[in-house]
Structure 1
Amino acid sequence: MRWRNWAGNQRADGIDVRHPRTTGEIATVLHEASVAGRRVRPIGSGHSFSGIGRPEQVQVVLDRHADLVDITPGGLVTVQAGMTLHRLNAVLAREGWALTNLGDIDRQTVAGALSTGTHGTGAAFGGLATQVRALQLVTADGAVLECGPDHEPEVFSAARLGLGALGVLSTVTVQAVPAFALHMDERPLPLDEVLEDLDGFMTSTDHVEFHWFPHTRGCLAKRNTRVPVSAGLDPLPRWQAVWEDEVLANGAYAGLIAAGRRVPALVPPLARFASTALSPRTATDLSHRVFVSARRFRFRESEYAVPRDAVPDLLRELARLTEQRGWRLPIPTEVRYAAADDVPLSTASGRDTAYVAVHVPARSDPTDYFATFGQLAGEVGGRPHWGKEHDLDAAVLAERYPRFGEFVAVRDRLDPTGTLSNAYLDRVLGSPRRSG
């Protein structure tokens, strides 16, 4: 079998693909692989840009292990880990519940989103891992661990964002909240105005982000305020949503990418035009419909979590180097906030965080741009998103994550022979300590 990720920059040939339906079948696959000395990688929707999901011998796909298990009256939602976020959002909405925060893409599986550190934006809100209350983990030798704050607490703490290195997630229990709406306000703003009081702007309401258009001094600001569903919904008309989000937004980016591929010199003037063509808009809709955006064009991405006060200088230096080095960047840079959390390998572990994400078209070579961005982020202690492209190794990452050693110790205990590892995990965590 052949495999490639969503962006097409990670590929594998000649792999053995398994589709287990039950926890027992997951355990059998892992036990057999462990005995045979074969490496196993679980995969979700393949939306990671890094090599975290790249299989080397055996791939475990949970597309047949993706059902709802239970929703309690208190909003504890248990699902099989192969369920996608967009399916989970639909299930929750039907039952009057919602996830308290989401990223802007919902194609990932629950397992994949957790394992790579998926997050949204909101200065007072954590990533998806902070919403986990219990999980069932199948370890490399086929053992099944029921994990929570009071049972296997060290494993639970680490496995909320486990990189797929501790075991295969079988079921996950998250804390949902009563369904709520978001009042969306999107409008173009000058970048300098946003950066002048970045913290004030990013904390001006519940969920704030902005997209800066390289080669310009403009950005698109998005401010979403939580409101009760009972106050009424006022969604965008269907024709407007299709026209603005599908035709204009996705079409404009696709056009910029295509034009830049043929004539790179066209990217800066077209980016300036795109940044000035935006119109303000407001609407109120169910939270998951506002949080999530469609992505109809393929790209590659690198994202770092940095201290919030580092963002203005980081963006200004990126803007300067973009012109100096002649990079042609048709896709905006995204900036978001998140609250500090207690998850060992979370990019927001122990500190309030800003996320800066840069993008290039899928079929371009981002080596110089991504390496330079990573160097700038590293100068302020930046931590790379585990599912996005970076070139750091375990020695560097151990300095960036105060609880790095704690995570690796759990990994070495649960998988000392590296059954669940691959080249990416060997690089970012170090090779497992082998028994014997």
Structure 2
Amino acid sequence: MADPATVSNFGGNITFTPRQHYSPRSEAEVLEILKKHRGQRIHASGSLHAWSAAAQSDDIYLTLEHLNSVEVSRDSGEPIATLGAGCQIKRALAELDKQGLTLPAVGLISEQTIAGSTATGTHGSGRHCLSHYLETVRIAHYGADGEPTITEVSGDVELAAARCSLGCLGIIVALTIRPRPQYFIEEYLAVYKNLSDVLAREFDWQLTQFYYLPWRNDFLAQHRRETTNRRSWLAPLYRWHWFLTIDIGLHLIIRFLVQRLRSPWGVKTFFKYFALSLVPRRWHVVDKSQDHLIMEHELFRHIEMEIFVRGSELAVALDFLRCAFVEFDGQRGFDDDTRAVLGQFQLLEKLNAPRERYTHHYPVCVRRVEPDETLISPSSGGDEDFYAISLISYALPAERAGFVGFCDFVAPAMTALFHGRCHWGKYCPSTPQEIERLYPKLPEFVAVCEKFDPERRFANDWQQEVIFPAK
């Protein structure tokens, strides 16, 4: 047990001081902690590479970095991986790669733990979110007799709940997932004026992610697809170029404009005339899957909100976002018809309220996600693909009022107009009423929670508020 100390998340927007902090080294130790603190509220976190209050705990707080094993066995010839809850994605990828395997979906960053990423519905591009692929989830909780126990969840509604649970069922200690053989991806970058031109190429380039570039209204697409070709001889040069110019250079420029100059004019000028000069277009490069799919977004502190919309709503959602950028930059972005619709949802007053000016300063990343077999992941339900729209700010933590005000308008507006769902692990201002409307299977999720944790010892204050508001 560690002495109580203030804990901060990666973004610096969430801080808390748990009453007691543990880092158990085994499942048995987890059960001992539950036994010792029976009747108290207990919560676990992953790597804290998130921006919502999902990991916050003022009571008994567990970090599971020591439960980081990676074990691969064969089931009827097919490999299955058992991962400790505290195993970071980058460790899982490295260990699986030694056996010629990889995860079935890979996100933009690899700092998260496997339990934290799946519990919040973290995703990659062009496939289901990682939660969808879980075969079993091992959860420490209190049994019907009140004693600490571990249940391995493996079927039907309970598994659909456990795959993306926000930690509300108990303490996740391990999970199993079927890895796939390591594969290669071909990638090239191209710029388009129209969204339709980007989407028209997704049929052949299924793993594409693209960026809407504010203040010039272009789209930069990272076209990606699986290939049987070998790694390109240009791949190392491409990796270094991307790392130095995008992961480092682009972010240093943006940080300078936002944190030092504090110049809206500089931001808009950079995007209009200079940003694309950093991009290595027309290179067709083949590289190992995770080398193409993962970026180094953890190098510089930032804050992020991500909203999921269905494919049929993507075009109008991005156009709404473009108008919101203009509006919050101090000009008139929305036309009279849009303002009338906002008025119907009681959002016009929020739009017209006095606020700090906000000039958006980062490319808007858009990724397609196939619908998941979960109950409450942001891409769950239906048979239509979702698109995750990421909004990122590199403003200093003390200077984020403009971004927060922007998100506090955009999130409910996109929920009302396009049924947009906020990512559970990003900045998430959704209300209980919105969540109830967005997730038709929420009652089933709550019922599973009632079975595993009838006294709600494992949900923190934020989860109590947004998932269980009636109790």
For 1:248 and 1:63, the matched residues in 2 are separated by 30
Q: 1:154 aligns with which of 140, 154, 157?
A: 157
Q: Which residue of 1 aligns with 2:223?
A: 223
Measured after TM superposition, the shift of residue 316 of structure 1 is 1.6
Measured after TM superposition, the shift of residue 272 of structure 1 is 2.1
Distance 1:65 1:432, change over 3 A: farther
Q: 1:376 aligns with which of 397, 410, 413?
A: 413
Give identity over the alignment, percent.
Answer: 21
Measured after TM superposition, the shift of residue 258 of structure 1 is 2.3
One-letter code aligned to 1:337: R
Report if the CA contact (8 A) 1:213-1:333 is conserved.
Answer: yes
Q: 2:177 aligns with which of 149, 174, 177?
A: 174
Q: Which residue of 2 aligns with 1:404?
A: 442
SS of equivalent to 1:241: helix
Distance 1:81 1:248, change over 3 A: closer
Q: Which residue of 2 aligns with 1:144?
A: 150
One-letter code aligned to 2:189: E
Measured after TM superposition, the shift of residue 252 of structure 1 is 1.7
Q: Which residue of 2 aligns with 1:338?
A: 369
Measured after TM superposition, the shift of residue 431 of structure 1 is 4.8
Within a 5 Å distance, the mapping from 1:58-97 to structure 2 comes to 58-72=60-74, 73-97=77-101
One-letter code aligned to 1:359: I
Measured after TM superposition, the shift of residue 168 of structure 1 is 1.2
Distance 1:372 1:274, change over 3 A: farther
For 2:248 and 2:163, the matched residues in 1 are separated by 33
For 2:166 and 2:224, the matched residues in 1 are separated by 30
The farther-off stretch of 359-368 and 39-48 is 359-368
Q: Which residue of 1 aligns with 2:456?
A: 418
Q: 1:117 aligns with which of 91, 108, 121?
A: 121
One-letter code aligned to 1:297: F
Q: Which runs of 4+ in 1 moved over 4 A?
A: none
Q: Which residue of 2 aligns with 1:264?
A: 263
For 2:216 and 2:412, the matched residues in 1 are separated by 23
Report if the CA contact (8 A) 1:411-1:432 is conserved.
Answer: no
Count of equivalent residues: 421
Distance 1:234 1:432, change over 3 A: farther
For 1:391 and 1:13, the matched residues in 2 are separated by 22
For 1:199 and 1:270, the matched residues in 2 are separated by 26
SS of equivalent to 1:279: coil
User: Could you state the TM-score of these two structures normalised by the residue count of structure 1?
Assistant: 0.92
Q: 1:318 aligns with which of 302, 321, 328?
A: 321
The farther-off stretch of 23-32 and 382-391 is 23-32
SS of equivalent to 2:450: helix
Q: 2:231 aligns with which of 209, 230, 233?
A: 233
Measured after TM superposition, the shift of residue 392 of structure 1 is 1.5
For 1:239 and 1:223, the matched residues in 2 are separated by 18
For 2:130 and 2:99, the matched residues in 1 are separated by 20
Distance 1:61 1:155, change over 3 A: same
SS of equivalent to 2:125: coil
Distance 1:403 1:135, change over 3 A: same
User: Could you state the TM-score of these two structures normalised by the residue count of structure 2?
Assistant: 0.85
Q: Which residue of 1 aligns with 2:349?
A: none
One-letter code aligned to 2:381: G
Give me the CA root mean square deviation.
Answer: 1.9
Report if the CA contact (8 A) 2:186-2:225 is conserved.
Answer: yes
Distance 1:432 1:321, change over 3 A: closer
